[in-house]
Structure 1
């Protein structure tokens, strides 16, 4: 017989599902921060909870309470409070991999806050460790769905920029609906960018680059930074990442797409 206050096992929940819902780090990123209180829809990402190294795990345990947040969609973020500076311009980076490029950009521009969003637990731990070792107080790490973050947790006109570097290209035609850069995403992003805020995308998948350019050119809230209406040269502030280098070695062509939010 279980003790009076002890939970009774739920035989209707498979053990494997129960284990997946258990947090890897009790005070760290949650496995499904938004839970069931937001609609289920086609996602542009797949959670990847691959092996976490000892160093990454230690960074998550120590630094998540200080610099990490779960995207639960339940409350509006105060970015000034989050970054301990109400005047700091904040850029949202959607998908940062292992965080090396994010750390480089944060170090090169300490006057800008980077709210870095991803679902990859090892990358979250790695970026937190990089931030600590390099004294980067302008980085915060968000765990979960960037759409929920934008829609439910960020105020209108609160972002100085949005960066989407090397998102999943979903190359198969039947998966194109999963690509992040779609008209619906752009309409939402425009409401959260301040006037003149920069939306900067980069990809080494040429068909996706063409789609990015096409849908952004058609978006009424955005204006191409390039007078000829084409792709932009890689700006100095975007580092050449290891992933990008691997693509270049394979003969891939990297395209940057840079649009600003129009004045309303």
Structure 2
């Protein structure tokens, strides 16, 4: 690919840990206008008061928020929410927090969660970095998922990629020791970037075996989205990386 990430490129060329993306005013996403369906509007208007969270709610006690002590999973950028809904429905003994900035996806997920009677799901419509930093306690998460983030393929836009040393370190502090950070992308060059950044980050261990390292075989527990299934039919690759917090 034209934006192939060279293994000889130094990690120091990426954003340093003292410059979080949201503090520098650089966003890893672009807000796009989109039509809202009746169901999506219903989700935002009727279900949000029950399942929605904001930065103004402050740092959460997750046991109080969900009314129980359970494994906790956060997914950043859930899109239209199909994967997150499937996980929450399949694993009722686990609590899920989704973070997404696009209103149609948030509305759709809220509508679906309500229709399926899911009580183990909460949502933020906020900048993910701000949510991690301000709202989620340290060492509180069992898993953080980042599936198919915007690859920002042009070299001049690489600074917008969410996978940067500062973000990786913030994720590490929110994971429990032994917790996992699961990344997936359908852009090979971004997969190489992810592996390069993660392998240089302190406090993580790659869970991949020597046969497939730095990637893992597609985990059966990660739901197959329509987007990914369509890509597979077209011969597109998908790369999964799973790192464990060891310190």
Q: Report the TM-score when normalising by structure 2.
A: 0.87
Q: For residue 76 of structure 1, what is the aligned residue in structure 2?
A: 59
Using a 3 Å threshold, how does the CA distance of structure 1 residues 165 and 40 change in structure 2: closer, same or farther? same
CA contact 1:71–1:145 (8 Å) conserved in 2: no
What is residue 41 of structure 2 aligned with on the other side? 57
Answer yes or no: is the 8 Å Cα contact 2:208–2:241 preserved in 1.
Answer: no
The answer (yes or no) to whether the contact 1:96–1:102 under 8 Å persists in 2 is: yes
* Cα deviation, residue 200, structure 1: 0.3
Residue 135 of structure 1 aligns with which residue? 117
The Cα of 1:40 is off from its aligned counterpart by 4.9
Q: Is the 8 A contact 1:48 1:121 kept in 2?
A: no
- After TM superposition, the structure 1 = structure 2 runs for residues 1-264 of structure 1, keeping only pairs within 5 Å, are 39-72=23-56, 75-85=58-68, 87-228=69-210, 229-262=213-246, 264=247
1:178 Cα deviation after fit: 0.7
Instruction: Name the SS of the counterpart of 1:171 in structure 2.
Output: coil
Structure possessing the higher radius of gyration over alpha carbons: 1
d(CA) in 2 for partners of 1:234 and 1:106? 19
* Count of equivalent residues: 224
Structure 2 gaps, min length 5: 1-21
- Report the TM-score when normalising by structure 1: 0.81
What runs of 5+ residues in structure 1 fail to find an aligned partner?
Answer: 1-37
Name which of structure 1's ranges 97-106 and 76-85 shifts more when overlaid on structure 2.
76-85
Higher relative contact order (CA 8 A, sep 6+): 2
Decide whether the 8 Å contact of 1:71 with 1:143 is kept in 2.
Answer: no
Structure 1 residue runs of 4+, over 4 Å off? none
Structure 1 range deviating more: 222-231 or 197-206 = 222-231
Q: Aligned to 1:186, what secondary structure does the other structure show?
A: helix
SS in 1 for 2:178: strand
Q: Deviations over 1:34-54 (max 9, x none)?
A: xxxx74521111123411111
Secondary structure in structure 1 of the residue aligned to 2:53: strand
- How far has the Cα of 1:242 moved from its partner? 1.0
CA RMSD of aligned residues (A): 1.4
Give the Cα–Cα distance (whole angstroms) in 2 for the partners of residues 132 and 57 of structure 1: 13
